[in-house]
Structure 1
């Protein structure tokens, strides 16, 4: 069975006045290997209680999967002729790696922690002007 058919069965159990545990038990008895989980059934029951009686799965927000962005980091395998040809064939949007990008340069994170430890517990004389 596909997801839509399971949603119809969950809705049927809801309309018959069964609770989520009873719905899960019935679905497990009939479809032991493919029945939806408890949390899935609870989510659909909550939706039905809110008055949303459609069994269609709504559109989801989040990351779009329609296009691929490739962030090149100047690794040799990205610059090979075969790789560049494949990237072009797949119509990937190609983002070249900037020469220096402070938000991507994580080396400073480790540099300053060592620097701080090195300077800890040292006393410096005040320099006169």
Structure 2
């Protein structure tokens, strides 16, 4: 049972007229090991006595908990691609997030790790995808700008120099 379920059970037994000790014994006999602590039961009974009717968490002010939005992840990724040597604190200052949130985005969402003062991808998956998106778009822009010059300068493979020594 989750914490919201515990709160509803406490409220039910409170409305039946049980004391916190009675509520604790009822919950222990009913749900056993997952029953809430006595202090939690006492706290919620006190809140219900003061007139609280909701068992849900109240809205809290301040910075929102969820900062790992796709927009934020993409913004951090673009900044890292521009400068791999940024420190986490500098990056946190740029995007106006906490240092721990930026570090979590770098390690969990972007799969990067710090290597010799540079942020590098672990498996290069995100960088490869970004590179595969950027190169064709640049080629298409150059092609639409000047078709003949683009085809004249476009290289399809690298030259290989092979030296033979006797």
TM-score by length of 1: 0.51
Q: Distance in 2 between matches of 1:39 and 1:86?
A: 49
Instruction: Say if 2:81 is the partner of 1:81.
Output: no
How far off is 1:2 after superposition? 2.9
How far off is 1:44 after superposition? 0.9
**Structure 1 residues 16 and 69, CA gap change in structure 2 (3 angstroms):** same
Equivalent residue number for residue 21 of structure 2: 21
Equivalent residue number for residue 65 of structure 2: 65
Instruction: Say if 2:38 is the partner of 1:38.
Output: yes
Q: Distance in 1 between matches of 2:18 and 2:55?
A: 17
How far off is 1:23 after superposition? 0.5
**Structure 1 residues 69 and 86, CA gap change in structure 2 (3 angstroms):** farther
**Structure 1 residues 63 and 23, CA gap change in structure 2 (3 angstroms):** farther
Instruction: Say if 2:58 is the partner of 1:55.
Output: no
How far off is 1:38 after superposition? 1.1
- Tell me, what secondary structure is at the counterpart of 2:52? coil
Q: Distance in 2 between matches of 1:66 and 1:80?
A: 23
TM-score by length of 2: 0.41
How far off is 1:5 after superposition? 2.4
1:94-113 equivalent positions in 2, closer than 5 A:
none
Q: Distance in 1 between matches of 2:51 and 2:35?
A: 24
- Tell me, what secondary structure is at the counterpart of 1:81? strand
Q: Distance in 2 between matches of 1:45 and 1:7?
A: 9
How far off is 1:78 after superposition? 5.1
How far off is 1:3 after superposition? 2.5
**Structure 1 residues 41 and 64, CA gap change in structure 2 (3 angstroms):** same
Q: Distance in 1 between matches of 2:126 and 2:14?
A: 50
- Tell me, what secondary structure is at the counterpart of 2:121? helix
Instruction: Between the two structures, name the one with larger relative contact order (CA 8 Å, sep ≥ 6).
Output: 1
How far off is 1:20 after superposition? 0.8
- RMSD in angstroms over aligned alpha carbons? 3.3
